[in-house]
Chains A and B, each alone.
Chain A
């Protein structure tokens, strides 16, 4: 180490000079490299490589049957297709299946498949492939935790002929088509599945507009255009000059992601911060796509099974004490609207009940007095029988964005004014699920993405208070209401759309009347992109971006 500064040199002049030179070089060389690198990305009109930067977690497996979460859906939607899709109004439309028919008893479904559909390994999307995929989902070795729920009621899949497949059901399932439209039930090449989990996780073979060509973990997935693509879902088209390559990058930090978009290093980003959305809307070179997810709204659930929210008056008081509209306005700067429903506003059966969620501090105080919480301790927190009016609120970054956590803090402040002590505890995802499993919560926020009103049955049926083998249960508000259960059963089994929609409306009204939830807004799903990106739309299924017909202009 004595070599750092040779002892015989006049260090004041020579050594510092050398250092200065080194620093100058360190600054200039990357600048030169930067300017030459920048041109190849932004300036070349013939370039059809699109860079998508996601803030969602990197999938650990690209086969959406394994596990089954939103990050898998985002990239999977570019590679794999489902049997059916949705149109903008939320009605089921053909995709890999062109026609279908349900038997009168609801126990048999017959599907006709699109004869043009081919996997990128050259094999046809035929009845045998559908059978192999449903069985792959149902096999415990696959480790499916989302997609298998969609095919639980399918007892047997019968190959009638190459283009026709028949499902025999254990019981009628009114939500079957909505379930099959989800990307977690996407159809893959049976030959690809047979390679085993490691290979199929790294490179699933679908029939979609792109195929996986490489995956540098923690960096990017490269997708190349499927030149033989013929089968976009109803409402979408194949275009000749669509992008030929997608670089799918993982950029977890929101600031870096937006800076990369502004500098043209990437073309599309997801999960922008609210102030970035407002900045993009004002900016000339950037566009905004707002595509709320289907299923539930983002809402705070009140645990009705334990004190203090086992008392309906206390629940109503909590909701009345919350000035949510003001908080949403300041934190989200008008990029999103308030929800008054358990369902996402993109669900055709969603019913808004604004009257159930009015901010009224006096009413909150009166209700708490009536409920026996009439005294306050030195800190201004209400007390009853020696107990303080405390509500534990575990939160996790995986379920709630930073802006949303700031909103929760506002709720904490506004409910404190009437004497609630809301204790917000940030946890990592495993610990958060652990806290829920042990019922160590009075308040919780956990959005749930699923197509159709059947999500209400998943979230509020008394059956959903029973934990899954992992300890997970979806009915966090612990509602156990026979009248509500009856309505939810109708949603699950009734195939008449009008009767089903009425049941969904009734169910939402019952949920609003029980004061078991505080709806906030739709599940936020925003995309920002450079103006050069043309024809970017979201698939109406679970609102993942559809890059199959996107072109890059100037």
Chain B
């Protein structure tokens, strides 16, 4: 119980810090946010129009007052109104979250599937297969997401016309964006899982299991793979962050609605309430994902369960 309370408090501190840092950082980017309401940067609007916009959004108040007001509204769950879209930020985010959540989830599942296939192939005895998958993983991990996405569009949407080039709202529209996001992450996951497996295969407990008379198969499943996936699971929270970053590119290329695209246009248009909303949401997702990952790892690797219960920091 104490652990959960401790973690919840930690989450609140993280959210408060993120909110404050984001608020401060946004004060330093060039451009007048009032222009967001007047058609964007480079507005030729009159002084009266600019003042009307500033008054509407409270931008004419001292910065400390704006900050305290922002925090106070945040505590009550009010994210404010989008400067450019003239609708509540909660509504903007409400529209953007489901498509990004679905894309991130399918990409994460696909990445794990691809990584496990690669690890399974590589853990066999064939040296050729092992070398080949090693090369594929390295290539997959190093590939830039935007290039991969453009190539997939050119080949599978343009030349072969197997999949639509841009989102259709249906299932077939999510295949290419999912693959674009999953491949680089799968490369990383496979690499770290494989090193975990290599370590496990050389570990003394494998010898003792053998000595107990366990079959080679049982050893691989119960001991080797179990150890192998832990580093990968540890990376899942990181993968989620990488996915959220990746959606900013992938959603634009495949013309999918979502958080990444919302963030890109909000930053370009200096729509500060929307930027803050997306940043806070991403931080929250991170906190939640890290928590879930810890629980999952605790189940796979009982040693960590004990550590989490004793609130001992992980190495």
B46 sits at the interface (CB 8 A): yes
In the complex, what residues of B have CB within 8 A of residue A34's CB? 162-164, 172
Contacting pair A2 B299 (CB below 8 A): yes
Question: Assuming A7-B222, A66-B39, A430-B31, is B164 touching A260 (CB within 8 A)?
Answer: yes
Question: Assuming A61-B85, A255-B150, is B49 touching A140 (CB within 8 A)?
Answer: yes
Contacting pair B168 A37 (CB below 8 A): yes
Contacting pair B158 A470 (CB below 8 A): no
Contacting pair A263 B165 (CB below 8 A): yes
Segment 25-67 of B: residues with Cβ below 8 Å from A? 29-32, 35, 37-53
In the complex, what residues of A have CB within 8 A of residue B138's CB? none
Contacting pair B164 A60 (CB below 8 A): no
Q: What is the CB-to-nearest-CB distance from A302 to chain B, in angstroms, rounded to a whole number?
A: 20
A386 sits at the interface (CB 8 A): no
Contacting pair B299 A140 (CB below 8 A): no
Segment 126-147 of A: residues with Cβ below 8 Å from B? 140-146
In the complex, what residues of A have CB within 8 A of residue B32's CB? 470-471
A153 sits at the interface (CB 8 A): no
B130 sits at the interface (CB 8 A): no
How many residues does chain B have at the interface if contact means C-beta atoms less than 8 Å apart?
82
In the complex, what residues of A have CB within 8 A of residue B253's CB? 252-253, 255-256
A57 sits at the interface (CB 8 A): yes
Q: What is the CB-to-nearest-CB distance from B263 to chain A, in angstroms, rounded to a whole number?
A: 11
Question: Assuming A30-B172, A263-B158, A431-B30, is B220 touching A11 (CB within 8 A)?
Answer: yes
Task: Please measure, in the bound complex, the distance between the C-alpha atom of A554 and the C-alpha atom of B92, giving whole angstroms.
Answer: 39
Which residue of chain B has the shortest Cβ distance to A197 in the bound complex?
B86
State which of A214-222, A293-301, A320-328, A484-492 sits at the interface with chain B: A214-222
State which of A14-22, A415-423, A514-522 sits at the interface with chain B: A14-22
Task: Please measure, in the bound complex, the distance between the C-alpha atom of A145 and the C-alpha atom of B222, giving whole angstroms.
Answer: 68
Task: Please measure, in the bound complex, the distance between the C-alpha atom of A206 and the C-alpha atom of B268, giving whole angstroms.
Answer: 29
- Interface-centre pick from B29, B40, B222, B256 (highest chain A CB count, 10 A): B40
Contacting pair B31 A433 (CB below 8 A): yes
Segment 435-484 of A: residues with Cβ below 8 Å from B? 468-472, 474
A33 sits at the interface (CB 8 A): yes
Task: Please measure, in the bound complex, the distance between the C-alpha atom of A431 and the C-alpha atom of B120, giving whole angstroms.
Answer: 50
How many residues does chain A have at the interface if contact means C-beta atoms less than 8 Å apart?
76
Q: What is the CB-to-nearest-CB distance from B50 to chain A, in angstroms, rounded to a whole number?
A: 5
Contacting pair A60 B116 (CB below 8 A): no
Q: What is the CB-to-nearest-CB distance from A139 to chain B, in angstroms, rounded to a whole number?
A: 9
Question: Assuming A68-B39, A253-B255, is B162 touching A145 (CB within 8 A)?
Answer: no
In the complex, what residues of A have CB within 8 A of residue B38's CB? 66-67, 143-145, 470
Task: Please measure, in the bound complex, the distance between the C-alpha atom of A218 and the C-alpha atom of B170, giving whole angstroms.
Answer: 16
**Overall SS of chain B's interface:** helix
A355 sits at the interface (CB 8 A): no
Question: Assuming A15-B120, A429-B40, is B165 touching A10 (CB within 8 A)?
Answer: no
Contacting pair B165 A148 (CB below 8 A): no
A238 sits at the interface (CB 8 A): no
State which of B8-16, B201-209, B225-233, B282-290 sits at the interface with chain A: B225-233
A336 sits at the interface (CB 8 A): no
Contacting pair B120 A249 (CB below 8 A): no
Task: Please measure, in the bound complex, the distance between the C-alpha atom of A12 and the C-alpha atom of B129, giving whole angstroms.
Answer: 15
Flag B254-296 by CB within 8 Å of A: 1 or 0 each.
Answer: 1111100110010111110000000000000000000000001
Task: Please measure, in the bound complex, the distance between the C-alpha atom of A361 and the C-alpha atom of B117, giving whole angstroms.
Answer: 62
Flag B155-190 by CB within 8 Å of A: 1 or 0 each.
Answer: 001100111111111111001000000000000000
B157, B261, B270: the one contacting A260 at CB < 8 Å is: B157
Contacting pair A1 B300 (CB below 8 A): yes
B96 sits at the interface (CB 8 A): yes
Query: Which B residues fall within an 8 A CB radius of A?
Result: 29-32, 35, 37-53, 82, 84-87, 92, 95-96, 110, 113, 116-117, 120, 124, 150, 153-154, 157-158, 161-172, 175, 217-218, 220-222, 225-226, 229, 233, 252-258, 261-262, 265, 267-271, 296-297, 299-300
Other CB < 8 Å A-B pairs besides A145-B38, A433-B31, 13 of them? A1-B233, A11-B120, A23-B117, A30-B175, A34-B163, A60-B82, A144-B49, A217-B257, A257-B165, A265-B164, A432-B41, A468-B45, A471-B32
7 A-B residue contacts at CB 8 Å?
Answer: A11-B220, A60-B85, A216-B257, A218-B95, A253-B150, A253-B252, A430-B41
Query: Which A residues fall within an 8 A CB radius of B?
Result: 1-2, 4-5, 7, 9-12, 15-16, 19, 22-23, 26, 29-31, 33-34, 37-38, 53, 57-58, 60-61, 66-69, 140-146, 148-149, 197-198, 201, 216-219, 249-253, 255-260, 262-263, 265-266, 398, 428-434, 468-472, 474
